[in-house]
Amino acid sequence: MKEIIRVKLRADGDVRCFLTGGMKFDAGEKVIVEDDRGLEHGEVVTPAEAMMDIASVGRPLRKVIRKVNPWDEEQIAKNREKTKDLRNICEQKIKEHNLPMKLVTTEYSFDRSKIVFYFISENRVDFRHLVKALASIFRVRIELKQIGVRDEARMVGGCGPCGRQLCCAAFLKDFNPVTIKMAKAQNLPLNPSKISGLCGRLMCCLEYEYEGYRELLKGLPRPGKEIKVGQDKGKVVAVNTLKRTVTVDFGDGNLRNINFDTKEEAR
């Protein structure tokens, strides 16, 4: 039985499994790992766990080399400093090749054997000539990676309408589908500026309480439906999902809040 940990790599937040080799790690520790084409640095996101069936991971497992030491920290800092020049040169080459793409960020691999350029574009981009141009300048392996606007927000970071760090930059590992149906279920205003994140897409947090609202909505009538309360009939004009109450217009000019489960007037 072997132990694995999950490590978050690089700016794109890619989380992969690595063999511990018997070493002990805590979540949050920085480590150097063996990647497909050299050494990479990353952050441990889960404690070690035993795994009997390694093949179930779905890809060959690499191993953790060591915990980050002071020399590694210095190397990582130097790599980050060098990326400023990488960005300027890449943006210049993008203009020269007249490519419809926006460079988001760039980074060296830990051992400087590869440079990754992350970009966004509305369409597929033929960047073969750009890769050749960059490779001739830097003399290392070049990778251009097209990402989505939600990935861009994760990399760039920022604060959401709630005033806290963006969920995607703080803790989200995967982007689950978010639909307008989730906003409707929570009776949120369908104004795009109110329910969209910095990426321009629907906010990821709309998903968090959606299942809870779905449960609470079971059996509740929609606005416009006619219901009977005692001997009287009225039309539902509003629904309070959390309290499971409905506001009913009985046609006498007065609106009454009714507990839908007991059919009694709510206080």
pLDDT of residue 12 exceeding 70: no
- For residues 127 and 159, membership in a common domain is answered with no
In this structure, the answer to whether residues 84 and 141 fall within a common structural domain is yes
- Claim to verify: residue 206 and residue 234 sit in the same structural domain: no
Residue 128 lies in a domain: yes
Q: What is the pLDDT of residues 195-234, one digit of tens each?
A: 999 999 999 999 999 999 999 988 888 888 888 888 888 8
Domain shared by 64 and 77, yes or no: no
Instruction: Using the 3D structure, point to which of 38, 68, 98 is the last residue of a domain.
Output: 68
Whether residue 164 is contained in a domain is answered as: yes
Residue 221 lies in a domain: no
169 & 109 share domain? no
Looking at the DSSP bridge assignments, the partners of residue 19 are 4, 63
- Residue 78: CATH number of its domain: 3.30.70
Domain stop point among 92, 119, 147: 147
- Give the integer Cα–Cα distance in Å for 200 and 28: 30
> Residue 139 phi/psi, 5° resolution?
60, 35
Pairing of strands 38-44, 2-9: antiparallel
Q: Is residue 220 part of a domain?
A: no
pLDDT tens sequence across 243-259: 888 898 888 777 888 88
Q: Are 41 and 68 in contact (CB under 8 A)?
A: yes
Q: Kindly state whether residues 179 and 232 are assigned to the same domain.
A: no
Angle of helix 128-138 relative to helix 70-96, nearest 10 degrees?
130
Which long-range contacts (C-beta less than 8 Å, at least 24 apart) are formed by 131-139?
133/93, 133/96, 133/97, 134/89, 134/90, 134/93, 137/89, 138/86
**By residue range, what is the domain housing residue 242?**
226-265
Mean pLDDT computed over 160-187? 88
The tally of domains found in the chain comes to 4
pLDDT of residue 133: 94
Residues 232 and 207 placed together within one structural domain of the fold: no
**Tokens at 48, concatenated:** 């070690």
Domain assignment present for 218: no
State pLDDT tens for residues 86-105: 999 999 999 999 999 999 99
Give 51's strand partners: 2
Provide the residue type at 99 as one letter: L
pLDDT over 80 at 193, yes or no: yes
Q: Which of 202, 155, 165, 199 is nearest to 181 (CA)?
A: 202
Q: Which of 130, 147, 164 is the last residue of a domain?
A: 147
List pLDDT tens digits, range 236-245. 888 888 888 8
